[in-house]
Structure formats: structure tokens, C-alpha cells
Amino acid sequence: MEGTREDVLKAVFDWVADYGATNIFWLTGHPGVGKSAIAASLVEKLRDTARLGSGCFFQRERSNAMTTSALWRTIAYGLARQYPTLRKHLIATLEADEALLTTVSIEKLFRKLIHEPLVAFEEAGGKDTVVVVVIDALDECGGFDGQHSNQRIKLMQTLKIWSTLPNRFKLVVTSRAEPDIVHLFSAVEHESFEILSGKMVQSKSSEDIQKFLEYHLGQIAARSQGGLAPDWPGSQIKTWLTRLAAGLFIWVDTAVRFMRQREPQEQLNRILGGASMGGLSALYSSILGASFVEPTEKVLESFRRIVGGIILAKEPLAASSLSHLCSANHSVLSHIRNGLQSVMDSGEAFRFSHQSFVDFLLNSAECRPGFLINLQRQKRYMTLGCFRVMKQHLKFNICDITSSYERNNEITGLERQVKERILPHVTYSSYYWADHLAEATFDLEISEKIEYFMENQFLYWLEVLSLTERVNLGTSMIVRLIEWLRNGNQDDKLARDMKNFTAAFGNMISQSVPHIYLSALPFSPRIAEVSKKYIKGYPQTIRIETGGQENWPAIQNVIMGHTSSVNSVAFSPDGTRIVSGSSDKTIRVWDAETAEMVAGPFEGHTSFVKSVAFSPDGTRIVSGSLDKTIRVWDAKTAEMMVAGPFEGHTDHVSSVTFSPDGTRIVSGSLDKTIRVWDAETTQTVSGLFERRPEDEISIAFSPNETRIVPNSQDKNKHLWRTTASRFLASIFMYIISRHIDPERLDFQLSVAIFQSYLEAARWMDARSQL
């Protein structure tokens, strides 16, 4: 409201005008003090003065919409629109590196789209320009995972880098003082402003709230057409309400909305009647008590399901969709929405106006048991709701397509048919059932719904994805299904085949719905579970009599993303990720099931990356390069974990690996040495192992970490003791691969050798050849 929070806005604008001030401003305070309203006012005023670079707002319940990668892309777009010099630099950057359009690396997005363009802008003559970026509700980044969210962890690291930018590039962050955020700001220079509430409330905050009350209560009185006195409810009550608000703008805003909802004096009396409890919890309890008088258990159950659905929805839902997903009729839905008007946004979609109400509903110490939301139970209901909707509405040829000769985008009127036949609750269920399933614990009823879906509706679901252009979601959704089944020790054979089917025919399915049945199904391998389950239901489709595939292709995924040759790959210890090193000087991490990049590119090497390996616990990656260095990276954030790089080799590093306990790294180089390094300090702890053949290919530790065996392109195989750099023995063969038996601590080495034919050899105890 105009004329309020002027002290906060003045503090921010004084900081903006101070070129010598640090470039981060942290506005903090308890939930409900008005941080988001201040952020919105700040964005508007900065836009009016042409100083706004961009403004972004996090919402916990919409964590799918504003992700950390979307944040920096949105900010980059705002900067590009505002500043032509920046725009040119960003366009050149995107043209030079198309991977920026799809990368999930928060660090790379920040560096390439924000940090480097702003530095270039400064160098190109922008030294007199002040650019301000506003990020509101940082504490709501990461959804319900909060500070444990990987997205939020990665964002914190990029915010720390912002502090290294020139002071003219200013960042305003609003948030609650949660531990990880406090830790972030304790590590960087910044200006801060805390809006106090409760017993510590500042007089200026109380004055602003009194001003807010005077204005809005005056409006209520004016609309009563003489039913209320112009100064209703009197100065004493206004002062009392101001004290009850205790600096919380959300309290007074919700109270005013509650009074407007019905007869104002009665609503006011209800607020005052529950005032002895104090704070937002008391207000929210009063609202629930007044809106749902002596509710039956049936009403409370509907309340919990509907409100749980609003909280857990992956995107805001309209009444019809919420009704179908929560099995609630429209009269019950309207009753609950009317009761919650004062805490909900207006508009078609159901959305709570402030996170503090959601927090209240989830807190057993504050919320009455009948209204308390058991999040795990509601996750189960939402999962069942998605499968129930799909069971009711998915069907063969859902849009009545009459010809298989045209692609989807060539069919006249198909867009209208899709809108009429595939209603919003059907698309929501088809897009998000896997997200809800991943959040739900194993349950026999859910398992039965899944079994029906897999055995009867899989192809119909693919129709919806094809018609709504979302086939790209299919494989990753089925991967989550497989994980859920495995966690419950259920048979995942059909689910795995569904994944193969979607991956193999995804391109075809995305172009033509009829060819799910006319091409994909009949051309599936005969032994494929999908084919065996579904082919008998379509007797009129073609049959492959001879020459058909017996099995799915051995190649499960072709992973693309590097811009030059791939020199090294390795699986993570749990088999879910693949790390790759390339001649494009980068390392990337991929989801082994979906082939999507989940981390990277890891950038830092100045020449080809020749070798990569995961640490035994899967949290780190080691890389060796032709730049003669070794680097250790965080496997999730793509940041170097140690001061590194590890330097000491005088020629190309051709092989690296971790010791079984993850504390050491062994490397082989074309400088004819092997070195063992401390993985934390980068110091050499053993070596040099100098009796080396030329052209080292790969190296392995023994399971007890006392021995190292290198692999080379000559016919010599040497064995070394790690603790004393002592040479133990040799074998004379042409070796192309080696493996140390993990079951034998006395050291058995199995190798494959290539002479005029392939054969296997085992070298036992480094003394005898079998």
C-alpha cells in the first residue's frame, strides 16, 4: 500500500545509490511481515527509474514453475530486454554454445548468462549504469524439500559468486532467516535489513499497519451504506488490532479480508474472541472456526483432501480439475473455498495467498487435529486420484482420428478436438502421476492401480502425450515408476519394457497417434512384454511373420551433448549415472535411464579430458587431461571440490581412479610415471613409480589398497606397492584390459590379452602366470 514501508524502501534505494556499497542487500524477517509486498513495490519503483534488471519470485507450491535454471534464464532475458549491449553479448554467447538452451548446470547458466555478460557490459562502457536484480522468497526455493533441495543448494553457490561482480550490479534478496541462508550471508559481504515482529516490532511497522487498517476499515464502513459508523470500529479497537498484528502485515491483511467475507462486525468479534492466543496461528484458527462451525467428519475429510490437493498440486488447479482429482463434488468444493476466501488468491485457480497458512495447516502444534494436513496421506490420495482419472477417461483413439496417413500436425481441427476431448484434469494426471507416485510410499492399493494402468492403459496414455506434444516426458516418468516398484520389491519387468518401447518409438509416437498401434506395437520384439500384453487386443493390425526383432536393440540410449569426441566414460557406483570426459575439454554427468544431462558441463581443463571416474560413494568425480592436470569435482554441482588442480605430471595424464576408500587418487601419465595423491590436499603421498612402460592406458587399485597395477600397450605388466613405491613383479603380455578380483585380498589380477586370438589370463599373487 502506498505510504507504507517507506523506511525499508528508503534503505534499499540509499544502498542502490551508493556505488561503494556491497552489491548484495538481504531483506529478512518472519513470515507475514510483508517481504514479498515490499519486493513487488521495489520492482515497480525500480522499473519506473529504469534501474530494474529483472525481478523473480519463488513460491513453494509452484516449485516446478520457477526452478533455479529458470531463474537465471528469466533474469538473463530481463537484462537483455533492458540493455542492448548486454543483449548482443548474450546472443553471441547462445550462438556459440547451444547447450545453454538445455543445460541443467546452474553454475554454467549463471556464469555464461549472468556473470560473464555483466563483466563484459562493465568493460564495454557500462560503468555508470546501476543494474538491480530482485529475488523474492529465496526460502521458498526448492519446494517442500526446502534447504535440502539440490536446486537450492546449487543456487546458493551462484549467489555467493554474485558478490564477486562489480558493485554496480546489485542483487536484492528477500527471505526468512533459515539456516542455509544465514550461512550464505555470513560468508559474503552484504547490506541487510531485518523487519522485526512480535515483541520486537518497530514503531514504524506498527504505524504502517495502523495506516493500512485505517484505510481498509474505512472502505468496509463506506460500503456498508450507513450500517457502520464512518470511524468503525473505533480508535481503541484499531489500536488493539494493530497490537495483535505485532508487525505482521499478513495478519492484518487476512483479518481485513475475513471481515469483508461476511457481516463485518460479527467477523471482527470472532477475531477478537480468539485474540488471547496471539499471532497468525490464532487468526488462522479463528478463521477456520468461524468458517466451518461444528463440521462433521465428512466435511473435515473433504477439507483435508481438497486443501491437501491444493498444497501438493504441481501446478495451480481450477475447480473442475481439483474436484476430479480429490473426488469432491462442486458444492463441497464451493463450501470450502468460500470458507477460505480470506486466505486464498482470487481467480479461477485454487492457490493460497501466503505460505504461512500452509505452514499452519502442516503444524500439529498449532492446527486443530480435524484441519491438520497429513502430507504423506495426502500424497497417497493425489497419486490415487491421478490413476483414477486416467482409468475413467483414457481410451483408444481418444480424439477419434479417422486416418493414419496424416501426421498429428497435419490433421485439420485436431487442436480443437484435443481441447474438447482431453480435459485439464486428464492432462494433469497424464503429466504428473509419476511425480506424485515418487512422493508416495509403497501401498498395495496404489500398486493395484499401477498394475491396471500398465496392463490396460499404457498405449492410451501415450496417445495423450502425443496429442499434447509431451512424449518427451514419457521415459523419465516410467523410470520413476520402475524405481517405485523396485522400492516395494514388485515385479518391474513390464515397466522396464514400457521404457524400452517409449524410448525406441518415441519419435514416431510424437508425430502420429495411429502409428502407436499400426507401427510401434507390431514392430516390437516378439518377446517384448508390451507386445505380448497388448497385441492380442488389436487383431486387425499388421503382423510380422518373418524377420522381426527378437529382442530390443542392445543399444539402450545414444547420449548426445558433447561437441567433440568422447574419450572416457564410467558408471556411478549405484549405476544410475554415467560420467563422460571429452575432447571438448568438459565433463558431463547423465542419467543412465533417461540419457538426460543431470550435471555439468564441468569446465576447467584447458585441453582434452582423457579419463574420468566416480569416487566409491558417488559424490565426487576425478578427471585427468592432456593439460597435465587432475581435478576433483562435486558430482552434483559441477564445482571443483579442492583448491587444485593436482599438478606434478610433466606430460599428458591418461588415466585416473580413486582408491577403494576414496581418500587417494592414482594417476598414470605419458611422462612414464604413476603418482598417488591425497584426494583432499592434492599432495603426492606415494611415488614416483618410474619403471613405467610408454603409453599408459589405465590403472587399478587392489581392494586392500596396498597395490597398483597399470595397463599399457606394450607386453609388460608391472605390480607396485602403494606405500613404498616398490616394484613387485612383471608379466609379459599385450594387455588391453585388467580387473582386480574384489574377493581376493591376496591380489588376483584378471586380464584380457590380445595376440592372434583372444584369451584370458590370471596373474596370482604377482608371482605365477596361469
DSSP for 199-220, written as a single string:
GG--HHHHHHHHHHHHHHHHHH
- Give 581's strand partners: 568, 587
Phi, psi of 497 (to 5 degrees): -70, -35
| pLDDT for residue 753 is more than 90 | no
Give the amino acid at 566: V
Burial degree of 72 (CB within 10 A; 0-12, 13-18, 19+): buried
How much is the pLDDT for 703?
Answer: 65
What homologous superfamily does CATH list for 566-769? YVTN repeat-like/Quinoprotein amine dehydrogenase (2.130.10.10)
Residue matched to cell numbers 500436425? 409
Q: Which of 423, 373, 431, 350 is nearest to 393 (CA)?
A: 423
pLDDT of residue 593: 73
Lowest mean pLDDT among 242-246, 403-407, 607-611: 242-246
The reply to whether CATH 3.40.50.300 applies to domain 6-195 is yes
Lowest mean pLDDT among 165-174, 518-527, 556-565: 556-565
> Is a pLDDT exceeding 60 seen at residue 643?
no
User: Which is nearest to 380 in space by CA: 425, 429, 441?
Assistant: 441
Number of helical (H) and strand (E) elements in the chain, helices listed first = 26, 25
pLDDT confidence of 61, banded at 50, 70, 90? low
Residues 13, 149: Cα–Cα separation, whole Å: 32
In the predicted model, is pLDDT for residue 399 greater than 70? yes
- Gap between the Cα atoms of 721 and 743, Å rounded: 19
Q: Domain locations in the chain?
A: 6-195, 203-291, 297-373, 380-537, 566-769
Please tell me the predicted confidence (pLDDT) of residue 490: 94
Q: Which residues, in sequence order, are CB contacts of 541 under 8 Å at separation 6+?
A: 517, 518, 521, 522, 535
Res 510: pLDDT = 92
Reply yes or no on whether the pLDDT at 641 is more than 80. Answer: no
pLDDT at 345 over 80: yes
pLDDT computed for residue 707 by the predictor: 62
DSSP SS3 for 736:
strand
Q: Which residue has the higher pLDDT, 561 or 716?
A: 561
CB-CB contact of 733 with 693 (8 Å): no
- Name the CA radius of gyration of the chain, rounded: 31
Q: Is 353 exposed, middle or buried (0-12, 13-18, 19+ CB in 10 A)?
A: middle
> What pLDDT is recorded for position 699?
72
In the predicted structure, residue 615 carries a pLDDT above the cut 90: yes
Measured from the Cβ of residue 296, the count of other Cβ atoms closer than 10 Å reads 10
DSSP 342: G
Residue 181's pLDDT is: 93
Model confidence at 400, pLDDT cuts 50, 70, 90, reads very high
- For 289-311, the pLDDT digits (tens) are 888 988 999 999 999 999 999 99
Let me know: does 550 contact 525? Beta carbons within 8 Å: yes
- Secondary structure string (H, E, C) spanning 393-420: HCCCCCCCCCCCCCCHHHCCCHHHHHHH
Provide the pLDDT confidence category of residue 731 given band limits of 50, 70 and 90.
Answer: very low
Distances (CA, A) of 9 to 6, 24, 253, 533, 682: 5, 15, 20, 65, 48
Give the separation between CA 374 and CA 378, rounded to whole angstroms.
6
**The pLDDT value given to residue 274:** 67
| Fold of the 297-373 domain | Arc Repressor Mutant, subunit A (1.10.10)
> Greater confidence, 152 or 493?
493
In 560-599, which positions are buried (b, 16+ CB within 10 angstroms) versus exposed (e)? ebbeeebbbebebeeeebbbbbbbbbbbbbbbbbbbbbbb
Q: What pLDDT sits at residue 204?
A: 79
Q: Give residue 470's pLDDT band: very low, low, confident or very high (50, 70, 90).
A: very high
Residue type, 250: I
Please enumerate in sequence order all residues whose Cβ is within 8 A of that of 154, keeping only pairs 6 or more positions apart, or say none: 68, 106, 107, 636, 637
Cα atoms in the 13 Å half-sphere on the side-chain side of 431? 15
pLDDT of 1: 65
pLDDT score recorded for residue 59:
79
The predicted structure's pLDDT at residue 336? 92
Out of 254-268, 392-406, 462-476, 679-693, which region has the weakest mean confidence (pLDDT)?
Answer: 679-693
CA–CA gap between residue 710 and residue 271 (Å, rounded): 77
> How many angstroms separate the CA atoms of 393 and 376, rounded?
26
Dist CA 653 CA 656 (whole Å): 8
CB 134 within 8 Å of CB 52: yes
pLDDT for the residue 601? 83
The pLDDT value given to residue 770:
31
**What's the grid cell of residue 192?**
541487510
- As a whole number, the mean pLDDT across the chain is 84
Whole-number Cα distances in Å, 169 to 9, 259, 413, 456: 18, 44, 50, 57
Higher pLDDT, 323 or 767: 323
The candidate with the shortest Cα–Cα distance to 571, out of 495, 478, 635, 481, is 635
Nearest to 130 by CA among 37, 225, 49: 49
The CB-side HSE value for 113 (13 A sphere, CA atoms) comes to: 27
Report which of residues 507 and 686 the model is more confident about. 507
Q: State yes or no: cis peptide before 688, omega within 30 of 0.
A: yes
| CB neighbour list of residue 629: distance below 8 Å, 6 or more residues apart | 605, 644, 645, 646, 647, 649, 653
Report the C-alpha gap between 680 and 416 in whole angstroms: 60
pLDDT on residue 33: 83
pLDDT digits (tens, 9 = 90+) for 520-545: 999 999 889 999 999 999 888 888 77
Per residue in 67-110, pLDDT (tens digit) is 777 889 999 999 999 888 889 999 999 888 877 777 767 888 89
Give the max Cα distance, the chain: 106
Identify the pLDDT of residue 692.
47
Q: Above 90 in pLDDT, residue 132?
A: yes
Give me the mean pLDDT over the 21-39 stretch: 90
Share of the chain above pLDDT 90, in %: 44
pTM of the model: 0.68
User: How much is the average pLDDT of 600-629?
Assistant: 92
> 648: closest CA among 613, 680, 624?
624
Of 55-64, 187-196, 391-400, where does mean pLDDT reach its minimum?
Answer: 55-64
* More reliable by pLDDT, 606 or 274: 606
Percentage of the chain lying above the pLDDT 70 cut: 85
Q: Evaluate if residue 371 carries a pLDDT over 90.
A: yes
686 and 723 Cβ atoms separated by less than 8 Å: yes
